[in-house]
Amino acid sequence: MKATSIKTRYDHKSIARRLGTIEAREAVKGFNKNNRVTGLTNGAFSLISLIEAVLEITGAADVIVSTWSAGIYDISSVGSLMQSGNIKDFKLIIDRSFATRKGQYTVSVDEIFKPENIRTTNTHSKFVLIKNDKWNICIRSSMNLNENPRCENFELDNDVDIFNLFNNFASELFSKQREGIIESRAIVDKTFGSLFGDEKFTEKHKREVKSEW
C-alpha cells in the first residue's frame, strides 16, 4: 500500500467563510500564496465559477479536474475558457459510471476535451489542480462539475506538497489508463487497483458487488 507523508513547507494562515452569494469571487477574496481559503456555500455558485475566479488571480494556467459527474453547461464553460486561452491545457478525470448516468454528454466531452485528455477511473474524489509558472493550487471540494443548489464545501491553497500529492496521482492515472471515457469495469478496475498498490481490494470489491446482483 502506498503511503505519503505530507509535511507542508510553511504554516498557512486560514480564511474561513460561509457564503450565500452567486459570486465565486467573494469566495476567494483575499486568497494569496501564503494562506488557505476554506468555505461553505449554499450551492449558489458552481465549481466552474470557482475555477474562473481562481484563474482571475493566477492568470492563464494548466488545469486538471477530477469529478464524479459533469453538466453540459459546465463542460461548455471549460471549453470557452480553453478557447479564450485562460486554460492552456486541460485534463479530465471522470468516474466510470458517467457514461451510464450521463451518456448524452459523452460525445460533447470527447469533442471539447479530446479522448487523449480524459481518463476514467473509480472516483468520487473532487479536486482541481491549477498550475502555471507562479502557482501550484489545489482545490479540494464536495462540488462536481455541475450546478447543485445544496450545501457544498471547498478548500484551496498554494501548497506545493499537497499539489504534488494530487498531481502525482493524476499523472500515474494518465500514464496507466487507456484514454477516453470507458464503461468497462474490468478495464477500469485493473488500473484502479494498481494506483493504490492494492489489487486484492479491487478484486474483493468486485466479488462483493457481483454477489449483491
Does 110 or 4 have the greater pLDDT score? Answer: 110
Assign 8 a pLDDT band (cuts: 50, 70, 90).
low
In this prediction, residue 1 carries a pLDDT of 39
In this prediction, residue 207 carries a pLDDT of 54
Give mean pLDDT, residues 106-124. Answer: 93
Q: How far apart are CA 9 and CA 72, in angstroms?
A: 39
Q: In what order do the strands lie in the sheet with 127-131?
A: 13-19, 35-41, 152-157, 136-141, 127-131, 61-67, 87-95, 118-121
Q: How far apart are CA 14 and CA 111, in angstroms?
A: 39
Tens of pLDDT along 128-142? 999 999 999 999 999
In this prediction, residue 104 carries a pLDDT of 78
Does 128 or 146 have the greater pLDDT score? Answer: 128
Assign 22 a pLDDT band (cuts: 50, 70, 90).
confident
Tens of pLDDT along 182-204? 988 989 998 998 898 766 655 66
In this prediction, residue 209 carries a pLDDT of 44
Place of cell 470489491: 205
> Domains of the chain (ranges plus CATH)?
13-212 (3.30.870.10)
In this prediction, residue 2 carries a pLDDT of 42
In this prediction, residue 13 carries a pLDDT of 86
> Is residue 169 scored above 90 in pLDDT?
yes
In this prediction, residue 83 carries a pLDDT of 95
**58 membership: H or E segment, kind and range:** helix 47-58
> Is residue 143 scored above 50 in pLDDT?
yes
Assign 211 a pLDDT band (cuts: 50, 70, 90).
very low
